[in-house]
Amino acid sequence: MERSPYTQEDVEFDVLEVLRGGRVMSTQEVIQAVKRRLNLSAADRQRANVREQESKVDTIIANALQDRRRLCRDGLIERVERGVFRITAAGREDIANREANVAATQPLLDKILGDTDLD
């Protein structure tokens, strides 16, 4: 069974990870880098309804970069100039908090799952 298509919320962390190194990137660079990180389904690759030259996932990633969306609105990324973005200190802190949460829950998962091989 194929998974559901990605949503904007699904790609936000990947956007932060792509910008994590502090490099300033254009919208197209972010889209391409995020797409390389994702396991895209056929539904993700379908043509977008509004922007026919883009796939649905391209539009979803581009939408995540918009000023009114969470990443910019909450100050996790900033627009340096039109179509150019970088991560902020708040964005790096968000990544660090996520990593700390994963590290804190890992021992519990290890205890629950034991030596179970999930691959």
Which of the four pLDDT bands, split at 50, 70 and 90, describes residue 118? low
Domain-embedded: residue 16: yes
Domain-embedded: residue 37: yes
Q: How many domains does the chain contain in total? A: 1
Q: Note the pLDDT of residue 18.
A: 97
Answer yes or no: pTM beyond 0.85. no
Domain-embedded: residue 2: no
**Position with higher pLDDT, 76 vs 104:** 76
Each residue's pLDDT tens digit, 29-52? 999 999 999 999 999 998 887 777
Domain-embedded: residue 43: yes
Which of the four pLDDT bands, split at 50, 70 and 90, describes residue 12? very high
Answer for the pair 85, 21: CB distance below 8 angstroms, yes or no. Answer: no
Q: Rounded to the nearest 10 degrees, what angle do helices 8-19 and 27-37 cross at? A: 110
Of the chain, the percentage scoring pLDDT greater than 90 comes to 67
Q: What is the CATH number of the domain that holds 105?
A: 1.10.10
